A and B are shown apart, each in its own frame.
Chain A
Amino acid sequence: MTRADKLDNRLSIEKSDPGRRGLFCKNPLRVKAKIPANLRRKAAPRLPELAEFDVVRHYTRLSRLNFSVDTHFYPLGSCTMKYNPRFNEEAAALEGFAALHPLAHDTCSQGTLELLHDLGSRLTELLGMDAITLQPAAGAHSEFTGLLLAKAYFEDKGVGERSEIIVPDSAHGTNPATASMMGFTTVNIASKPDGRLDVEELKKHLGPKTAVLMLTVPNTVGIFESNIEAIAKAVHDAGALLYMDGANLNALIGLVKPGDMGVDMMHLNFHKTFSTPHGGGGPGAGAIACRKHLAPFLPVPTVKKDAGRYVSDFGDKRTIGKVKAFFGNTGVLVKAYAYMLAHSAKEFGEIAECAILNANYVAARLKDLYPSYSKEYCMHECVLTPGADLAAKGIKTLDVAKGLLDRGFHAPTVYFPLIVHEAIMIEPTETESKETLDEFIAAMRDVHAQGAADPQALKDAPVTQPVKRLDEVQAARQPNLRW
């Protein structure tokens, strides 16, 4: 970053000059529509007036202010910030895919439908499931879809109202938020000291009102729910359904089929396990894979192969309907399919293994300074804490996070899961090499040394970024949300 990058922090509108033009649209037909004056806007929208080059320079400058997977190790726990293969981007940009209108006649969309059909079949095989919808736009949107399936399933069975969703206290915030959005009551249950779901506690809360247990596997502490069989049995004995939050699927892909463990339905995040880029917050793409008994309720359309042709299938009357206009985030799904083609079953298993290896390596090399929450080997992510030395100096997890930024590393996920005090959640992913992990480990150790020797310096971090620590209180009290 140059000095000029740091200094010129004007908004695009502040660079605007009246009358300056970027792109033109030269009305190809030279026809002016007869739209009455009372329907026309009186004042033009307040948008920047810039030359094309101004726009390029402005946004190129902004891009340079970001950390990203391509420029920095980004060990954000639960987010699976793995390498996003360039090839996938090229595939999605192919004109045949990118220019296809969502309402195109089936005779015009055979390529995309075939791709979606094949992606769906391969995924159900990998996950040990029977059916899938690719319509949800993201993970939380998938959870919403999953709970709708549950609702429809119980209504169809005519079993009376099941109004409760059980969620462990280690769960992602989206689980309880989705449950309440759907009108369910969330029943929180405390995890055991080792971070696992307490099966006896679960049994106390299971009953005729229970609709679904939402369980993240491996859980957010990064360990596997070893009692999964007993959990699934207890849930099914109560007539309820087991939903697996697949946010952490990168630990299991190719290694375990969730369907074998008694999971009735699960979601996956293509922008995590299947390597599609996060784009600064999206777009992602989600899916719900389910067993046979939930398949009739999936959103429509799905893709069906019929007499050698692929057709949009609008299902039977029991479908929950649409969760989104059109088919889904197809552009993202093309990228996921490209990733799928690049892996055999065995190679998927290696993804999980190396993700697990990397997380354990980081935990092992840092355990003297940053104790792990769990005493066991972790799966794809480890949850550490700042440790007694730093705590004694008043150093918080936030300070460690900011210290890492100054050392050229994105911070891990911090203060999550909520059950771990001062959590530092590190998910290296399988695409990072031992060398990168060694550099990261060295940076973590260096942060520790600084925190012990000169705690104030660490509390002042970051000092190398475009801005120092920001006043979040002012941002919330006097919201300035637009120009």
Chain B
Amino acid sequence: MNELKAKPIYLDYQATTPTDPRVVDAMLPYFTEKFGNPHSRNHSFGWEAEDAVEVARGQVAKIIGASAKEIIFTSGATESNNLALKGVMKFYGKKKPHLITVVTEHKCVLDSARHLEQEGYKVTYLGVKENGLIDLEELKAAITDETALVSVMGVNNEIGVIQPLKEIGEICRERKVFFHTDCAQAVGKIDLDVDDMKIDLMSISGHKIYGPKGIGALYVRRRPRVRVIAQITGGGQERGMRSGTLPTPLIVGLGKACDILSNEMAEENARIEKLRDYTLQRFRDRLEDIYVNGDEHVRVSGNLNISFAYVEGESLLMDIKNIAVSSGSACTSASLEPSYVLRALGVDEELAHTSLRIGIGRYTTKEELDEAVDAICTAVERLREMSPLWEMAQEGIDIKSIEWAEH
């Protein structure tokens, strides 16, 4: 609080990541001297850009075990998710109007599902277990002869838990239902293979993996072929699934970001996991009554979502202005509701208000985490001294035994 000009510490890698300087270097020539339209078929400027796009397509395909022809470039994972859900349901929906997804999906999946519902499609929203994972038996039971698509995210953006993609893929293939997975938070964090996991569609984001903002991809399986109705129409680019001139520099950047991950992700994730475990241990050594949200082991290395009981999240964020993290507290959301993901896990509402998401990434150092842990712990201690709930807990009063006037 005293060091006004201290360098801020970025621990919000699930929100976005800085573009890797190697990615920027790869992109730069495509803004200026190699500026051609990749769809110009009759001159070298176009060919040069097209070549670059196709290299990038291969780099993106490689990291998920796909072939380059199965990659469609989009503006980001939100567009990819919209295209996957609406595109598949509108193509197959006459015979199979049923979609299955999960309550903890990203808002863009849930909102696409809601729009489909309004248009008359049927949607089943699977719940999750206390650890944030879906129940495979529940999924099996939900699939009917009318089900066209199952959409389950690879890694949750708030709590970082990893869904059992391979098992879900098996179930879907057996029942001849397409399987879409939003892997915006999963690419580069876990090993992905669309054939091994029997994934039919996969959404990918650029800016979550040290690539640029404004670019993403949708993997669409060719064998057996998945058909989608385009949501953006025009010149028929991207095999008719997504019209619009391809943004060559952004695509080159996404490709380079995937290429870096193909070479470095194992090492990077091992380093981040050590930092994450170290950070959690330091919190546990200093503070009591803290709870990790989501499965502690089946989660990506860079995500730590902790509830600091008896301290409201927004006030905690105000105290640690120098540290960029996010909170599941209602006061940090426009809706004034606590995180729907945490509530879906059955986390008590009062604990949902006390959560922080700490995201560790490529450029995070141990020193930064030490500083962040110290600052957060000091803030938690200060705010607990001010918290009537903490006082009651210390006196042995059960907060749940009090009749609160909810407002």
Q: Do chains A and B stick together as partners?
A: no
Residues of B within 8 A of A (CB): none
